[in-house]
Structure 1
């Protein structure tokens, strides 16, 4: 009995860490759910509001404008008031933004509310991985930070499935009038759940210690460490890092000591997007329709993309702390270049082979999810020193959403003007550039504490 109690006590800290990470990652589900809702709605919106390629590109990409604003606010705000309070704000933004999307009476109104939802997504994608990294033990940090991306993928799969079901239950005319509203409105439920769950998690111990709230910080460290000695050791390590604290200013990021980390974070985030992943997520049904697939088949293929994304992200979580971040990025760059080239060649063929096209796109999605889809968020959350971490993560995530905006805004225009084949060839070429960058610039961070990474990358 005593032995059992002792084992249970030792496992409490791990349960706490996993619980905190899971609750925070529900925000990732909202990101995937709300971000992916446009995919099943875009065809209906095009008919409802008589949108051309440029118009549908704007409605789709308007959410990214909000994401960029959210990213700009997230780091400084979380450094000022704490990670938890900022996450609570995102839950409220999601609730009001999604309600506005569902009730929109014009394309302009829809775009404005998508911008609001985007603010919530931008904040969540910046702060959730950072927060999870700050409460995770070094040997599990990659997997736990990846939970946010896993939940993002599950959110994608959920909304792709819901959209496919809604589209199949009624006529095209009904979906044009009402179906897309229901697709958007379903996002209110997970937003409310996220808001309620956030009440169960503590503030980041590193943020508390940075603000001089040592007793509260130590209390949280006791909850997420196996024993008192480990909590005290981590407390001292964080305090050593904090001794080098300086005001969190944008100009500080240009310091030669931090420049390498900033370039790495910015470029890895940018490559995650400009290799074309959101062209697939936002426009998948329309891509398959271009290849001659009917509406029902296109929606079913999109659900397969969501399922592939979830399975591949689970694989990435399993191997990221074993294989390492850099190796996965190299694998992803090569694999995506090959899959995208094959996709372009299929579109260039006189008659597209829809089965081969589906296989190539699923392969691309799987390779992306195993590599850049997960690794970018993990790497960004761990390579910056604590005194500029919130601000630096915001800058890196800004690159991510900037790339996302470019792809989502101009993909329909590129397809219309230079063809789908040439557009995918451009994405393939970008993957090759990403490979060169990773091989020459990106270090390995697996198995190292945040303080060890800071010492290695930045020195003292």
Structure 2
């Protein structure tokens, strides 16, 4: 990764690496449920005052996403009023509180280890708090990186945020695997039969350690973000041009930094522009990028990977989940090192096609023991195709496609839609996956992945027809791009 400008590459990399810790926490927080959900389910099945149904479990697994919707919806307000940096500090604090609260939801109010409906509500409150942090970080981390990065490497640097998200998921897969150790997850069948003797530690303690482990990276992020600068574009918006110039020159070099400051001033002067100043199309494209990123169904795989691999008959689902995490990391690197060479659109289109092939492969083979290897390969193709396309590239486009004067509000709306559809996919996956049609126990399997495959194909058409190529354009160029349309 080389820059043509004279400036401090090490300074740029250092502040970007701190910012992407927010992405790591994003991935960690959303994927920690994959290892903890069975132990958590078994714990609340023992509650004497209510029946912990599949519906309650689906809500509990997805409750953090409610917070994500709230956090992303508020991100524009916080980014514009607190600034990008202070908003990320707030996100880190919320991550930390959520980690400790989810580990010990009984704190001060309940007796330890006694499951109850009130305790379930408290647990979900802590998960929602963490979700608010995720929502803030998911919108503001890419925005922060895009606003400090030189245009010629902006796509690469924003893609590192997606790498951090997937790396965070891989880290928590490993952490969950290590925490579980020689212990076993409870076996929860349709009649809710639990093996308490074998899984007693997992039911009482294991899931707590999994949630609590997030406190370490959360505390580190909240501390380190205090030492990075505010973004130059926000500093210009609040009239601190001298501070903005110093940062721009340190990143880009003296003459280049001064030129970028002039470009920012020319677009920031229109501070009061309304959301639809540049028309409805740019907002629609931003929203639909977010909708498709989630509607393709990827998080149904990421959040429930151990359960899916267990249903496939794999002897150690956690090992298969870690393997999938490694594959995801490798293919995210493909996007990072090709986004500035190949452009945004080709990666999205090829990724959509690959995902469709993988999803249809899962739909056709899931539940057939003789074709379990093909099912496994199809899931890997599906996941890997997302990782070099919709995973990172959606965030790149959302961070850069909107003009400066509406970016905060527009990004907030787009990311809120992303979390809304993330919640829809995550909360509907288990009921859809377990659907039966008559005596056909596999109906839900092929229906669910067949639906995801169709949505993947539609995503390719959407990108081909409507999404503009933004490779090599500055953030200030976006104003002219949409004024022409």
The TM-score with structure 2 as length reference comes to 0.89
The runs of at least 4 aligned residues of structure 1 exceeding 6 Å deviation read none
CA contact (8 A) 1:293 1:354 kept: no
Find the counterpart in structure 2 of residue 86 from structure 1.
87
Deviation at 1:80, TM superposition (A): 1.3
Distance 1:354 1:112 in 2: 39
Deviation at 1:109, TM superposition (A): 2.0
The DSSP-based 3-state class of the residue aligned with 1:169 is coil
Match of 1:245 among 252, 271, 279: 271
| Aligned positions of 1:265-304 closer than 5 A | 265-294=286-315, 297-304=316-323
Distance 1:287 1:328 in 2: 27
Answer with 366-375 or 103-112: which moved more: 103-112
Find the counterpart in structure 1 of residue 349 from structure 2.
330
1:316 and 2:335 matched? yes
Match of 2:23 among 22, 28, 31: 28
Deviation at 1:43, TM superposition (A): 1.3
Find the counterpart in structure 2 of residue 120 from structure 1.
133
Find the counterpart in structure 2 of residue 13 from structure 1.
8
Deviation at 1:459, TM superposition (A): 4.1
Residues 19-44 of structure 1: per-residue CA shift (max 9 Å, x gap): 11110001111111111100001111
Deviation at 1:454, TM superposition (A): 2.3
Distance 1:205 1:20 in 2: 13
Find the counterpart in structure 2 of residue 149 from structure 1.
162
Deviation at 1:67, TM superposition (A): 0.2
Deviation at 1:46, TM superposition (A): 1.6
CA contact (8 A) 2:71 2:136 kept: yes
CA contact (8 A) 1:291 1:352 kept: no
Find the counterpart in structure 2 of residue 107 from structure 1.
120
Aligned residue-pair number: 444
CA contact (8 A) 1:78 1:86 kept: yes
| Aligned positions of 1:441-460 closer than 5 A | 441-459=466-484
Q: Which blocks of at least 5 consecutive residues in structure 2 are unaligned?
A: 46-51, 107-118, 185-198, 437-443
Match of 1:179 among 206, 215, 236: 206
Match of 1:45 among 18, 24, 40: 40
Find the counterpart in structure 2 of residue 130 from structure 1.
143
| Aligned positions of 1:230-241 closer than 5 A | 230-241=256-267
Distance 2:92 2:344 in 1: 30
Find the counterpart in structure 2 of residue 162 from structure 1.
175
More helix by share: 1
C-alpha RMSD over aligned residues? 1.7
Deviation at 1:355, TM superposition (A): 2.3
CA contact (8 A) 1:95 1:192 kept: yes
Match of 1:435 among 460, 466, 473: 460
CA contact (8 A) 1:337 1:428 kept: yes
Find the counterpart in structure 1 of residue 63 from structure 2.
62
Distance 2:395 2:350 in 1: 17
Distance 2:7 2:275 in 1: 38
Deviation at 1:346, TM superposition (A): 0.9
Residues 202-257 of structure 1: per-residue CA shift (max 9 Å, x gap): 001000001111111111111211x211111001111111233325xxxx2234x2
Distance 2:228 2:468 in 1: 32
